[in-house]
Amino acid sequence: MAPIRGYVFDAYGTLFDVHSVIEAGRAITGDPAALSTLWRQKQLEYTWLRSLMGRYEDFWAVTEAALRFSLRRLGLRAGEAEIARLMEAYLSLACFPEVPAALERLAGRPLAILSNGSPRMLQAAVASSGLGARLQHVLSVDAVKTYKPAPSVYALGPRALGVPADALLFVSSNAWDVAGAKAVGYQVAWCNRTGAPAEELGVRADVEVSRLTDLPV
Ligand code: 2OP
């Protein structure tokens, strides 16, 4: 691999554990994991559909729409107060346990988040997980009003860091996000915590790790 001059991290699923909303789901279902999984899947699906349709709405709106659909799909009853509580869980997500040590290990080079999240959602998650001091940039797709894996989104990283994509390591646990970043020329690390198979999208990560503390330096 070429020398790495900066790191660009995906947020949800990579630094922040989106399934930490499971706790909030316990109030309305006996199977909060099923709700959390469907909610996440529909959230991503809606980002891709809205991008193709040219009808951007921010990630907060997309996340709420995905929740409302998932509740209906699973036949769950939830009032507006419960929906608000589930949405608020997104503002206080936990980071994966190894994240502080992993970022500490890479300190000295610029570290950034590049995420689908709206600026407000990202600021809240960064604050609640205590990662603010370790990150130099928090970049949202909201600047270009479309979602990953659009090339215009990934272009935000090199522009903000002032470093070309091939000298940056993009880090994601989402295999489709790995493919999107690789397709536009980043060096890419796939954090494959679950031993998932790679996507068949014609591009592969340069390196695969199972924990962020194993990233190349
Ligand atoms: C993110 O952009 C893809 O959810 C992922 O943070």
Regarding the beta carbon of 173 and ligand 1, being less than 6 Å apart is answered no
Is 196 among the domain residues? yes
Which residues, in sequence order, are CB contacts of 99 under 8 Å at separation 6+? 15, 129, 131, 212
Alpha-carbon gap, residue 77 to 142, rounded angstroms: 32
Is 136 among the domain residues? yes
Residues 155 and 193 in one domain: yes
pLDDT at 63: 97
Alpha-carbon gap, residue 49 to 43, rounded angstroms: 10
Is 148 among the domain residues? yes
Residues 143 and 177 in one domain: yes
CA of 43 to the centre of ligand 1 (A): 10
User: Which atom of ligand 1 sits closest to the CA of residue 11?
Assistant: 6
pTM across the whole model: 0.96
Give the count of beta carbons closer than 10 Å to the beta carbon of residue 92: 15
Which residues, in sequence order, are CB contacts of 139 under 8 Å at separation 6+? 8, 112, 113, 114, 115, 156, 157, 160
Question: Are the CB atoms for 191 and 211 separated by under 8 Å?
Answer: yes
User: Which atom of ligand 1 sits closest to the CA of residue 141?
Assistant: 2
Domain CATH for 28: 1.10.150.240
Token pair belonging to 12: 């949800």
pLDDT at 74: 97
Is 98 among the domain residues? yes
Residues 110 and 201 in one domain: yes
Q: Which of 90, 118, 145 lies at the terminal end of a domain, its last residue? A: 90
Residues 120 and 56 in one domain: no
Regarding the beta carbon of 43 and ligand 1, being less than 6 Å apart is answered no
Residues 74 and 110 in one domain: no
Is 144 among the domain residues? yes
Q: Which of 36, 59, 90 lies at the terminal end of a domain, its last residue? A: 90
Give the count of beta carbons closer than 10 Å to the beta carbon of residue 72: 11
Residues 63 and 133 in one domain: no
Residues 134 and 191 in one domain: yes
pLDDT at 22: 86
Strand partners, 9: 113, 171
Residue 145 zone, left/alpha/beta (φ > 0; ψ -120 to 50; rest)? left
Helix, strand or coil, per DSSP, at residue 6: strand
Per-residue pLDDT of the chain (217 residues; tens, 9 = 90+): 899 999 999 999 999 998 878 888 998 999 999 999 999 999 999 999 999 999 999 999 999 999 999 999 999 999 999 999 999 999 998 899 999 999 999 999 999 999 999 999 999 999 999 999 999 999 999 999 999 999 999 999 999 999 999 999 999 999 999 999 999 999 999 999 999 999 999 999 999 999 999 999 9
Which residues, in sequence order, are CB contacts of 215 under 8 Å at separation 6+? 7, 102, 105, 106, 169, 171, 189, 191, 207, 209
Residues 154 and 106 in one domain: yes
Is 79 among the domain residues? yes
Residues 209 and 162 in one domain: yes
For ligand 1, mutation pick of 174, 190, 191, 199 (most atoms within 8 Å of CB): 174
Q: Which of 90, 124, 151 lies at the terminal end of a domain, its last residue? A: 90
Is 1 among the domain residues? no
Residues 61 and 106 in one domain: no
Q: Which domain holds residue 170?
A: 6-16+93-214
Cα-Cα-Cα-Cα dihedral of 209, 128, 138, 140, to 10°? 100
Is 32 among the domain residues? yes
Q: Which residue has the CA at smallest separation from atom 5 of ligand 1?
A: 12
CA of 39 to the centre of ligand 1 (A): 14
Residues 157 and 67 in one domain: no
Q: Which residues of 41-69 are buried (b: 16+ CB within 10 A; e: fewer)?
A: ebbbebbeebbeeeebebbbebbbebbeb
Domain CATH for 102: 3.40.50.1000
Regarding the beta carbon of 70 and ligand 1, being less than 6 Å apart is answered no
CA of 124 to the centre of ligand 1 (A): 15
pLDDT at 104: 97
Residues 148 and 187 in one domain: yes
pLDDT at 108: 95
Minimal CA–CA distance to 187: which of 152, 210, 157?
157
CA of 11 to the centre of ligand 1 (A): 5
- The domain total for the chain is 2
Phi first, then psi: give them for residue 190, nearest 5 degrees.
-100, 120
